[in-house]
Amino acid sequence: MDKIKLVEAAQLRKDIPDFHVGDTISVYVKVIEGDKERIQQFKGIVMGIKGSGLSKTFRVRKISNGVGVERIFPINSPKIAKVEIVKHGSIRRAKLYYLRKLTGKAATKIKEKKRKILETVIEEPTATPAETTPENTVQA
């Protein structure tokens, strides 16, 4: 392995969840104001993912006070405190640039991906004959 890939592998983050274009996510960003540091939430729809390795970025769009706001985040940035997936979206595009032309609720409405949930049925154990003996029953 060459030296560049060794250096990059040490800087890659592994705590970011696997999200895709169309998902609604919350990105918690570290903001430094003067000498204070706080965490600011940016919740929106992932419009696109670009690049690979250290230079991989993703674009998030939200509607704030009727105005569309987009931010591009490097996935491996130390400014990102954490990323939470709010909703998985079901789309058929790699980039969602068409959302820029939409207004109102249509700009944030993406069909949610249907998840197959395996339901396991757990049967309650029935009483065995040994538990229902006359000694255990109370007579009035």
User: Is residue 95's pLDDT more than 60?
Assistant: yes
Is the confidence at residue 94, as pLDDT, over 90?
yes
pTM: 0.74
What is the residue type of 114? K
Reported as a single tens digit per residue, the pLDDT across 41-81 is 999 999 999 998 889 999 999 999 989 999 999 999 999 99
Q: Which two tokens stand for residue 135?
A: 């000694």
Closest of 104, 116, 35 to residue 63, by C-alpha: 104
Average pLDDT over all residues of the chain? 86
> In whole angstroms, how large is the CA radius of gyration of the chain?
25
Instruction: Average the pLDDT over 3-25 and give the result.
Output: 90
